[in-house]
Structure 1
């Protein structure tokens, strides 16, 4: 059994980025933990306590759908992680994962358009820097539809690790539907059709029906 840690800036990123891979880990007997750094909605105009509670319920339901063992929700400001000292984010991750000893970590890609995603990646790399007593053998970064692909710069997400999730794509869709108010109508990328098209595209790249793609930051054998 492997211990898997997913660190996401916002609830729903875990589903969009690696939801089907999470479900596959659970089916294979691995234990998956999720750390979410912000409430995901407080930056929106008119957001209130009811919106925050609704988002927390969606997170809980999505986690149950995927089989996540434990969810920890932090309270950093949504879409304003650049207003927080990086050290504070790093120390929060270290404190919330103390004693966990993950083997594999999934998190955001540093070249993402969203500033919260960028800083989450930096904080994870710092919190789990490769010291002699670090348990982490693999760190993989994921893409988040309607964010990662909108970064039009030379530095972009470049997939070099693929997971066959053909048997888990519907479970991912069901989990994403827990965040119904985050879904959009096609051709918006954050739609049911968009999620399946991306997974189908990555699947074609490795000869399967559906796949999730990642960029390797660390892999020790």
Structure 2
């Protein structure tokens, strides 16, 4: 089974579902697509090509640690997705869907504080609409520490997880992958710190009777009879 992860910025894939990527990559092909550059909205780095290149290199290092099959960078302008027609973002997502035909997709929750996260979620939801030929059966939204919870349910309905993945054996891989992001990692008590990432995983795990978990909101799941038959025969 092929799986796609659509993230707005480098590090979102790790923060949102890094431990799940590491778990799934042991048996499945996981492809990461990063839509935005992640750094050019910062005054100090706006015209710093070396800083952007360093961030991409960090993302590639994180991808290697997580075991994903590939990472692709679309290089949309950081924190300025709303200056683009939504259709342009949808087209980029649709192109990837045609190329790799994933059965499952992970992306941002629409209630995040970050506008790029919101538009990524909307574009992915649009691109994966259940029409003839769409390969996507399951669409999951992840939470991004320092964005999803900081929306305080004031932007859109809050994150309400209903799927929990046991990541007791891969949470430390996620922490190491996040530490690869030299410009994005933070010290405790920031939500991106190693301590906070472990604490969130423990909390989400306790919700489902697990030691550590990553939580997702299942937005859509399609179980056609042909698919159900294939799964029974697998």
Conserved 8 A contact 1:72-1:96? no
Q: Supply the distance in 2 between the matched residues of 1:132 and 1:56 (Cα, whole angstroms).
A: 35
**Structure 1 unaligned blocks of 5 or more:** none
Number of residue pairs aligned between Structure 1 and Structure 2: 219
Conserved 8 A contact 2:55-2:183? no
Could you list the per-position Cα deviations for residues 56-93 of structure 1 after superposition, in whole angstroms to 9, with x for gaps in the alignment? 10011000001111111002110111111000100111
Stretches of 4+ aligned residues off by more than 6 angstroms:
none
**Structure 2 unaligned blocks of 5 or more:** 224-234
Could you list the per-position Cα deviations for residues 121-180 of structure 1 after superposition, in whole angstroms to 9, with x for gaps in the alignment? 000011111002111110000000001000122611111111000000011111111013
Larger radius of gyration: 2
SS at match of 1:97: helix
Q: Supply the distance in 2 between the matched residues of 1:162 and 1:90 (Cα, whole angstroms).
A: 28
Q: TM-score, normalised by structure 2?
A: 0.91
**1:5 correspondence with 2:4:** yes
Q: TM-score, normalised by structure 1?
A: 0.97
Conserved 8 A contact 1:37-1:75? yes
1:196, CA displacement in angstroms?
0.5
Conserved 8 A contact 1:183-1:191? yes
Written as runs of structure 1 = structure 2, the 5 A alignment for 1:1-221 is 2-27=1-26, 29-47=27-45, 48-152=48-152, 153=154, 155-221=157-223
1:95, CA displacement in angstroms?
2.0
Conserved 8 A contact 2:2-2:103? yes
Q: Supply the distance in 2 between the matched residues of 1:6 and 1:97 (Cα, whole angstroms).
A: 11
With 148-157 and 188-197 compared, the bigger mean Cα shift is at 148-157
1:97, CA displacement in angstroms?
3.5
Conserved 8 A contact 1:139-1:216? yes
